[in-house]
Amino acid sequence: IQGQYDRCFTRNGGFTLLELLTAMAILGVIVALLFTAFNSVSDVNMKTESKIEVNQVGRAVLQQIRNDIEVAVTMHNVSTLHHVPGTILGGNMPADTLYIVADVLDNEIGGPTGLGYGIDKIDDLNLHRWGLYRLRDPRPKIAAHPSEWWNFPSVSADWMSENVIGLRFQFYTNSDPWAASVDTWDGATISNRLPYRVGIEVWLLDSTRYKQALAMDTNLTGVAEARVLTNAVKFSTVVFLPRST
């Protein structure tokens, strides 16, 4: 009887409740540390990818605008560069528009082509985001409308980049490298109808932060506007116009 009593109370090698709770607590700490490390790595990767995206788009946009302006021409003794200053986001972000006539290689019919750059809203699924458009007009009506040829495009504009939210142009009236720039250009009042140099500035926002701002407010006001302005990255360059002299 004593032997049977001892066997009934002999431990079979299992874990006690306290041991199980301790093991679960340790496992929870390990999982939390791993999750934190994973999030940190993900954040670093996201920031790196966003920076690469902005750099690639910024360089490509500046190069395209630069190429178009470099081959600007004059026709029929009319100024073929028209600039309209503007702002968005409560007046805190430049949003200029520039129309030019240039000899571009992609003109299938040959001859000067009307081009335009500007910032406008892209209504995409009720998300009122801003973007950069490029107008391409193979038949600019300069002779028929010398004082407002830019208001008579033959084709509509195409979106060039949804990451560009700001655009500004500055113009230089002479070859002096230290000369001050002017904020707008009116070739009708200047003897040289094309500027010597054109400064270009673009502001870009990566797609992730853009979506986050739109999630806060689809109209990009208040906190959403502040987020856009804080995270926007500026790129700039200067274009020399050899045909201006």
| Whole-number pLDDT of residue 162 | 87
- In this prediction, residue 170 carries a pLDDT of 92
User: In a structure prediction context, what are the per-residue pLDDT tens digits for the chain, which is 245 residues long?
Assistant: 555 555 555 555 667 877 778 888 888 888 888 877 766 666 656 677 888 888 999 999 999 999 888 888 777 677 788 899 999 988 999 999 999 888 876 555 567 888 899 998 876 656 678 899 998 888 888 888 887 888 887 777 788 888 999 999 999 887 777 777 888 887 666 666 788 889 999 999 998 889 889 889 888 889 999 999 999 999 999 998 876 54
Cβ-contact 213, 227 below 8 angstroms: yes
**What pLDDT is stored for residue 175 in this prediction?**
75
Tokens of 81: 């560069």
Strand order in the sheet with 127-137: 81-84, 97-102, 113-124, 127-137, 157-161
Predicted local distance difference test score (pLDDT) of residue 61: 94
Any bridge partners for residue 237, and if so which? 200
Return left, alpha or beta for 110; rule: phi > 0 is left, psi -120 to 50 is alpha, else beta: left
User: What is the model's pLDDT at position 4?
Assistant: 53
CB 81 within 8 A of CB 72: yes
